[in-house]
Structure 1
Amino acid sequence: MKKEINIEKSQQKINPKKEAMKITILYVGIGLTWIFLSDRALEYLTEDSATVVLFSTYKGWLFVLVTGLVMYCLIKKWSTSVKEALKESNENLEELTATYEEVVAIEEELMKQNKELQISNYNLLESEQRYALAVEGVNDGVWEWDIKKDTHFYSTQYKKMLGYETNEIEDTKEQWMALVHQEDQERVFNNLDQYLKSQEGIYEDVYRMKCKNGEYKTILSRAVAVWNGEGEAIRMVGSHSDVTENKILEKNLNRAKAFSKRILDEVTVIVIIWDRDTLKLKEFNKYAEIATGYAKEEVIGKNWIDIFIPQDAKEQLIDLIKNATNIKEVQEHENQWVTKDGVKIDVLWNNKLLYDTEGNIDEIVSVGTNITERKQMESKLYRLAYYDILTELPNRAKFEVSISEKIQAMEPGQKCAILFMDIDNFKHINDTLGHTVGDELLVYISRYLDRCIKEPNIVSRIGGDEFVVYLQDVHTYEDVVDWINQLLMKLRKPWVLKKQEFFISLSIGVALFPDNGEDPIELMKNADTAMYCAKEKGKDQFAFYTKEMEEKTLYYIHMVNRIRKAIEKNEFSLVYQPFIDLETKEILGVEALIRWNHPTDGYISPVDFIPIAESNGMITQITKWVIKNAIEQKVEWKNKDVHLKMSVNLSGNDLVREEILEYIKSIIEDKKLKCKDFQIEITETAMMSNLDKAVDTLTKLRELGVQIALDDFGTGYSSLNYIKNLPIDVLKMDRDFINTIINENEEEALVSYVIKLAQALNLKVIAEGIETKEQEAFLLKNKCNMGQGYLYSKPIDPKNMEKIYKKYLSNID
């Protein structure tokens, strides 16, 4: 419009006719006015003709000048208008040219769009055909709802899915509503209404629809709606998928998942699932929380090695995991975890690799059993099996295994030494000061030896007062001598206990490998032989094993002769140790114990001569002597109103001899004693040498009325399973057994169990070796019947025994 106005204005400015007319009229008007006025003025001013001529000339010049100036102004104005008109015309021409080009471009675009529209119409036709084919061909049912017109369309597959033919259900909303399960209808309608109001997203719902056969299928309905500018839904298109089997599978999976979760929550093992690459935890079950003290939320998504594994074990475990995952096999293994409280627990792991769809290891399931208590029990059992309870040194079994391994590992030409050490006069300490003091001495010596003897050397207590030492890399005889001398020199220092000094000495025997033996058993045997030789030389000495020491058998023969002479010369004597009722403190009886005071060698322990007497058969003579003297003492006491049950020990050899049975029977009858006042004590080990014969002999003794006591229970087989089948009346628990149990509080239940079971078998129980009030209180608490030990009296002679008994009677009175 602006361009058109500019063109009209330009045309008006340069109209030639109009412009020429304006100039002509102006020129004529000016000329006529000038002539008329100038002539009148001239007539008025002068009448002189010359003057008139002159002024006429001037007037003509002035007229030309004025008219020329007027013409100049008019022409200039017209030229300027022409110039502006031409300029505007050029500008309009340029604008017209640009407009033309735009029109051409628009025409080309319209032609292109027309072509594309033709293609789109063709594609749309094809798409509609494909849509129609897809609707009929897919497994899912397709539906369409024109909300404005309230018309519906349901595909053939939609109807077939529910078992209907095409013409059996109508394409109406009411028909669809009627097929939805009644329990689902309210929820389905609410969800649909909320979706249409939301004006965004995709509609999705799951509900049940009734089939022609009356069954229901679970349908997944998905759709999308179209809204107009006012936010009103005008159209909705969707599909129906039969997910009945999927829902059943989902239900089963949920059930399996719930079952698995219940197992994970209730199983008493640690279960974790972790990422193979990042080591981050994905699952952490309830028991893992209990075992470690960490809540699941504290560890999920974190590197479990950083949390639980001790710093010094992390690198090794990471290498193990890398190697295992590389070969796609994780072996069963143990490691330690650190709990939230800083406590270390032992865990035994089984692992299962989980793979992704491409066969790569994705996750690892680790199931860990907390074996801390088991490891502790194994450690305890190991120590019980291989370490001495009192001194905590390795025992004989451990020593033999250890030195066997060391000998096998030796290079040719290497030597070692076995030292067999025995504490001199240790039996005397036990008998005079009590076993508690003896035990303290053993602990003192063992601790000293343990401090002095370090790897690769070994020290062990193999029983009683005997220790053995293994010395490695022995080069010369002098090396061993120097070591022994240093040891003996330090041990000869007085040992102080309760302000009393004790001087310790050791007898040591030495056997060298390989000169004196090539295996632990032979070396220890020969070292033991050398030790006895050292004792024979006066104790507090050492001796190296030599072939000549095999003459030890001569000592055996010599000892046999001395025992025989002792029997003949009546060198033996009896001492008596009482056993009492723990509750009333009544002295019930005494145990007769043999003693040998040699005329020149002094006191010889029963441990030293009884085994020799048993081995050569002289034990029966000694037993008869003991029985005879014990019964005679019983008669003497009876005549003095000292009424004590007499208890005598029998050996295993005695039990298999018929003559002992007859001897006991005859002497009791001869002394006119009651058999119930006489008691026989036998050890478990003695019975086991010939159990059947031993049971037969004991049964016959019981038939006479003699009571039978099982001595030293706890040191031999210690099984209550066979005790119930033995003909016994009394169970005597060994002092070492009592000490061990009292020192181990967790074993108190075992003592109580033994006592209760023994009493359930109608057996009386005597606890031997009671030396402290604490032991007495413990036994009383556990309902033990009787006790015997240094707390009440050490073994004493008959006169002192009479005094104790009479003192007891006077206290009662």
Structure 2
Amino acid sequence: MAIERKTIRLLILEDSQNEAERLVSLFRNAGHATRVHRLTSSDDLTLALQQTWDLLICAPSSECLDPAEAITAISRHAKDIPVIQLVEGNEPDAITEALLFGAQDALPQGEDERLVLIAKRELANLEERRARRAAEVALREAEKRCQLLLESSVDAITYVHDGMHIYANRAYLEMFHYEDVEELEGMPMIDLIASADQGAFKDFLKNYQSAEGHAELSCQGVRADGSTFAAQMSFSPATYDGEPCIQVVIRAETSNAELEEKLREISCQDLVTGLFNRTHFLELMDAAAERAVGSGQPSTLAYIRVDRYASLQGEVGLAGVDLLLTDLADMLREHFPAQTQLARFGDDVFTALLPGQTPEQSQAHLSALLKQVEGHLFDVSGRTAQTTLSIGVAGLSEKTAKAQEVIERAHRCADELGDGNALKLYDPAEELAAAASRGNLLAMVQQALENNSFRLLFQPIISLRGDAHEHYEVLLRLLNPQGEEVPPKEFLHAATEAGLGEKIDRWVILNSIKLLADHRAKGHNTRLFIHLSSASLQDQTLLPWLSVALKAARLPSDSLVFQFSEPDAVTYLKQARALTQGLAQLHCKVALCQFGCALNPFNTLKHLHVDFVKVDGSFSQDLGNPDSQEALKTLLSSLHAQAKLTIVPFVESASVLATLWQAGVNFIQGYYLQGPSQFMDYDFSAGDE
């Protein structure tokens, strides 16, 4: 499983250690995990630029390295690292100067909230640029494969720009009896059309220039030797070498061409209603999404569900429902404009794609459809039936690259119309507010606490050094009313903000203790790693409560390892120190996780009584990089020198195991070994020799 949070790799050019720590804490408090390096010299920057970084924040000035020099070095090394320059005061000239030097933005020092917002914007832009570069590489590979497919295709294919050939494949040359593609280069395609059909071809091509989508034309083709043949031409828009053009696929007409065309038509149709079927409609949606993104042409999707479908089946039977749906399909054809693309999308669902319209523009027309169907009496084999519709509406615009997202939005809108006979338009602002709202999440969390319905999962932590204990990390999961997992980051953040962090931690501890006691009673020498939130770090009643709970369960205290994160430890260092001392007196073990991302991680560690240290997951992600391997080995070596047991999480492949073994790691954890499970059933003896 991928790491849920994205670790920001941050460079800071700031002479003051305290100010650098403060800048890091800004990102931490904003919910961002960070890997930080403070630059100390020009050579240090050169060394740092051998790795990948996401952002550089420069103080107004630095004795060790001039900010302008740092920006120049980044440009010289051809690194895509956005730079935010802090300036003294609010001097427009200083801000302009920083932008001229190449900073992505500049702002007065001390405007913390604005700094975080600018950083968020620049990181989003960076991700877009990285995604674009990856897409360009993928596009080039796809174009290479397409070129190979064109060359090997049995279909005769040519690309035409302004009526001239710019490419023709081998099958096309053979069809027209030409030896080499150079003979066709610069030749108008109309020269390969019989003179009697040239006028019709010219008119067709002129009209097609402004048209979209697939079109066909039958005419007589002329071979190089002057002989003619009946050709069926299919035209579709394309690009070749980055230029817009027309792709023409030609096949010689044969006696079964009409049958082939009929079969192609049937494959696109729903057999009951005669409308397009789901498969073909999805292709139409993809084409509409491309038009929306490429040329800004909007479209609207109406997701039309028949209300009381199951009841109708019971009343009129399967054959009767088919008659009703056929009648309804005819109503849809008459109601919508001719260019509307209609489909039967599911048993009880029709879809309508309205090109050139926004959802708001289509609202009145769709509302009229609701009234028309509500008032219509369907004749089903001599008896009368009535129904209504629920219509969800969503638009395709230049921002909707994925047609499936639009279908899901319209589907959700239709689902929200509980009583039916209604219309709902997708509202981006409403959905955004719903996603940001903690209301529903909090209700789910409170219900889970009341009903004891959280789920605990266990992921093994496996020793590379022959430890006799069986170790598992306890992971908390919450299911929504539909039985789907809510991302832990979302519900835990909402719960913490609402002050429920302590309650959730205690629920996890109590239920983990119960399960562990049962498991150990079966002869297992098992330890559980239980995560504590920042709320529990500050909870002075936790230790006495925990002492009572352990005695009641008759569990050895060292069978529990309480872990908390480095960012929380840095923020609440005094409380974390007191808690680790108290846990040591109870003989419980302590683990510090997400380690290695603070500006000076070992400064935090020296204040805490910690047994295990789990390095941040970003170290595992970067192990393909030799510099990252070396950084991890150095970090682990320092931890082992302090007699800390080390854990590396997110081990997702066998290839990193040798590296981790050589680095002397004590424990590893990840999906390559075993993902989270509802049971503590990992065979720890499997790896023993």
TM-score of the two chains, using structure 1 as the length reference:
0.36
Give the number of the structure whose alpha-carbon radius of gyration is greater. 1
Bigger RCO (CA 8 Å, 6+ sep):
2
TM-score of the two chains, using structure 2 as the length reference:
0.42
